[in-house]
Each structure stands twice: as structure tokens, then as C-alpha cells.
Amino acid sequence: MSRDNPLIWVEISKSALERNFQTFREIVGSEVELAPMVKSNAYGHGLELCAQVFCETGADYLAVNSVFEAEKIRAMGDKGKIYIAGYTPLDELQKVIELDCEFVVFNLETLEKLGKLEKSPPAPLYERGEKVKIHLKVETGTNRQGVQIGDIPKFLEKIKSLPNVELVGVAMHFADIEDTTNHDFAKQQLAEFEKIKAEIEQAGFQNLKFHAANSAATLLWDSTHFAICRTGIANYGMWPSDETFVSLAEERKKKIVLQPALTWKTKIAQIKKIQADESVGYGRAFTAEADMTIAILPVGYYDGFSRAYAEKGSVLIAGKRAKILGRVCMNILMVDVSDIPEAKLEDEVVLLGKSGDEEITAEEMAEWGGTINYEVTTRIRENILRKIVV
Ligand SMILES: *Cc1c(COP(=O)(O)O)cnc(C)c1O
């Protein structure tokens, strides 16, 4: 949580995170484990800060992509369950064991290496007399990480042969559950997963935790919940997509409300008047048609405020919209405050979030930039201060 530029910060609403998490808890009930995803700096919301809130609110696991993220969580003093969903390099397997994490496996080389690791290094799980806990990722049609169905028996045999390794879970990931209101492919993947589940259980593996659901699946269908839900984006109050919102209205009777948790702010660095026909910024991309007042903001694409936002984008000052003028620079942005006469030096500016009755959502910014809400918030530069607010 190092802070480098006091002119840019992110406020995270604790009550919004708690409420979104509780919404998931109400949907899945008390039997299904919730593993909020805090990868990618908690979707830009601040890894440590969100990890702490989710733990206090009753998360069963924290899910991350990479070992370094697990390391940050352990450095906070957290001793809870961590699930690593991305690829763990062979030379970091020892570290993952020392960090006491569960992780996903989809390469035979990983199992080979696990078999060769020292059996009694000073790791908490060995002290507890436990084995290394792995989850098998299986391929059901996403063609991302995962073991091909035909290869599963080979993996199971290998796992059985390793005295220090315990298979505790089996995972899949949906390819097409949020990008469409047609859920045929998702249902096909689910049916495939059910088949795999039956086969693995028949092969003598009992009490495994099967898991498949991301936010969209968790919200839409109880049949995807299995033992664990790996919920990401919706914990932060963002919808996986408009399609998920639309589908949900059909699938569930109860209205589900998500509360965006993030507000991104900066301060005005200068205000000045320019005259008609003067241009603003690089490439002289904007020319004033009349005399106007502009504000200079100390934030740019280095900070995650994309150049692609320039054409359609605006910011909020005193509850009013101020349009972006010309191009977004690396560290600077110019906006039109002609209609906001009260704006003055070092006044607060909202880049994302609410100001008075106005709001700029991550979805709106995604539209400006031709991307998705996931990318908008994860792009907010990591070293910008995140602070918790009520
Ligand atoms: C990121 C991720 C999730 C969470 O997805 P959301 O759409 O953000 O809920 C779940 N599972 C895996 C494997 C992921 O990589």
C-alpha cells in the first residue's frame, strides 16, 4: 500500500464490499464455500485492503492468480485458506508449499516435480502432518488452462502414486457465461463437468471439492455452485456484463443489487481561461470555439486513465460533468470547467464514482475505451493509494 502521488487516490467502500459479499452468501447459503478473487490487486481495488474485508466478512478462501499475490496475503499475517488459480512455475512449488496454499495443477511436469520435492522442509502443512493440497483443472471447452478429458485418468494415476500430494479439488472455468444471454454452451460445459465429476468419484476419489462458478455463474444458477464459488467482479459491485444482468432477471425472481465499491479521485492542479481558436494539448486535438475555462488535472495514462477515454470521456467536479479536452497525456488531463464557475485549485475531482447526483461508472468508462469494466478498474495503477471508507 505504498503511496507515491498524493494527488491521486482511490477510496474503497467497506460497506459496499461487505454487502456484495453478503449478497453472494445469501445466494449460495452456508454450505458452499466462497472464494472471493483478489487477483490483479483485487481488480484494482487494493489486494490487502480487500483481502482483509473479505476475511472479516466470512470468506472461506481467498483466491489469487499468482504466487506473489499469495505471498502478500501471508505477509499480512493471514493464515486462512488461499487458492492459486493461475500457473505456478515449477521452481515456485516449494515456495507455495511454504506459504501453505492450495493450487491448481494441469501439467504432468508439475506432479513430477512435486514428487521430487523434499518431504520435510519447514512448512506448516508438514508440521500438521498434512500433504500438499492440489486441485486439478479440467478442460470442458474454454481451452484455456486445463487437462484434456482423455488425459484425466493419467493425472489421477500419477497423483495416487505421490505419497506427499493430496487431490482436494477439481475445477473448471466457463467460456461463455457472461458474454451472452444464450447459455447453451455454458450448460454443455456444466454437463461435461458433471460427467467428469462422476468419473473421478468412480475412480475412488471421495470428498473432493468440485468448483466451476465465477460471478456470473454464481448469480445465475445454483447448479454451478458445487463446493466452492470463485467469485470475482461482483464482489466489487460490478456486473460481469449487461447480459448477466438481463439473464438474471429471467433466472431468478429476487432482484439482486450490487454496490460499486470504488471511487477514483484527483485534485485540480490549475484553472485558466483560454480564448476562442486556441488549441489544447498534444496534436492540438481540441480547438476552442469560444472563450472557455479549463482545468488541468494531474492524472494520465500512466495512472490507468486510458488515452482511449479522451474522445467521449468526462470527469466530475462539484457534481457536474467536465468534458475531456483533446488528448490524455502521460500524467496530465485537461477538462472543460466553463460551466463550473465554483471550481478552484485543489478541489476534488471524481474520475470514477459518484459526485453529488452524478456518477461515472466503470461500465461507462469501458464504453469510452472500447473495453470492459474489468479492465477499467484493474488498470488503475497499483501504487496509487487505496484507502478504506465507510
Ligand atoms: C478471474 C477468475 C474468476 C472470477 O471471475 P469473475 O467473472 O470476476 O467473477 C473465477 N475463476 C477463475 C479461474 C478466474 O480466473
Q: Which of 64, 139, 146 is nearest to 105 (CA)?
A: 146
Residue 6 has which C-alpha cell?
498524493
pTM of the model: 0.96
For residue range 47-103, list pLDDT tens digits in order: 999 999 999 999 999 999 999 999 999 999 999 999 999 999 999 999 999 999 999
CATH H-level, domain 14-252: superfamily? Alanine racemase (3.20.20.10)
Cα separation of 321 and 318, whole Å? Answer: 8
Residues 6+ apart with CB under 8 A from 83: 35, 61, 62, 63, 64, 101, 102, 103, 104, 135, 228, 230
Q: Is 387 a catalytic residue?
A: no
Residue 121 has pLDDT above 80, yes or no: no
Residue 2 has pLDDT above 60, yes or no: no
Cα separation of 362 and 43, whole Å? Answer: 12
Domain boundaries, the chain: 14-252, 262-389
Q: Choose, from 39, 137, 197, 209, the residue flagged as catalytic.
A: 39
Give, as one character, the DSSP assignment of residue 65.
S
Q: Could you tell which of 27, 37, 209, 248 is best to mutate to test the pocket of ligand 1, judged by most ligand atoms within 8 Å of the CB?
A: 37
Residue 293 has pLDDT above 50, yes or no: yes
Cα separation of 26 and 24, whole Å? Answer: 5
Q: Choose, from 154, 195, 272, 282, the residue flagged as catalytic.
A: 282
For residue range 169-200, list pLDDT tens digits in order: 999 999 999 889 999 999 999 999 999 999 99
Within a 10 A sphere around the Cβ of 323, how many other Cβ atoms? 16
Whole-number Å distance, alpha carbon 323 to ligand 1 midpoint, is 34
Q: Is 126 a catalytic residue?
A: no
Min mean pLDDT across 213-227, 248-262, 273-287 is at 248-262
User: pLDDT value at position 118?
Assistant: 74
Cα separation of 219 and 280, whole Å? Answer: 46
Whole-number Å distance, alpha carbon 293 to ligand 1 midpoint, is 44
For residue range 305-321, list pLDDT tens digits in order: 999 999 999 999 999 99
Q: Could you tell which of 83, 214, 243 is best to mutate to test the pocket of ligand 1, judged by most ligand atoms within 8 Å of the CB?
A: 214
Nearest CA to ligand 1 atom 10: 214
Let me know if the fold of 14-252 is the same as that of 262-389: no
Domain 262-389: CATH architecture, name and number where available: Beta Barrel (2.40)
Higher pLDDT: 107 or 122? It is: 107
Within a 13 Å sphere around the CA of 107, how many CA atoms are in the beta-carbon half?
14
Cα separation of 128 and 165, whole Å? Answer: 14
CA distance to 32, 172, 221, per residue, from 190 (Å): 17, 9, 11
User: pLDDT value at position 249?
Assistant: 87
Whole-number Å distance, alpha carbon 160 to ligand 1 midpoint, is 29
Residue 39 has pLDDT above 70, yes or no: yes
Residues 6+ apart with CB under 8 A from 78: 51, 52, 55, 62
User: pLDDT value at position 124?
Assistant: 86
User: pLDDT value at position 1?
Assistant: 46
Please give the number of the atom of ligand 1 that sits closest to the Cα of 104.
13
CA distance to 38, 167, 200, 212, 224, per residue, from 170 (Å): 20, 8, 9, 9, 13
Residue 3 has pLDDT above 80, yes or no: no
Query: Stretch 332-357: mean pLDDT, rounded?
Result: 98
Query: Stretch 102-112: mean pLDDT, rounded?
Result: 98
Nearest CA to ligand 1 atom 4: 232
User: pLDDT value at position 250?
Assistant: 86
Instruction: State residue 102 phi and psi, 5-degree precision.
Output: -90, 150
Within 6 Å (CB) of ligand 1, which residues are found? 37, 85, 173, 214-216, 230-233, 240
Whole-number Å distance, alpha carbon 37 to ligand 1 midpoint, is 7
Query: Stretch 271-294: mean pLDDT, rounded?
Result: 98
Please give the number of the atom of ligand 1 that sits closest to the Cα of 240.
7
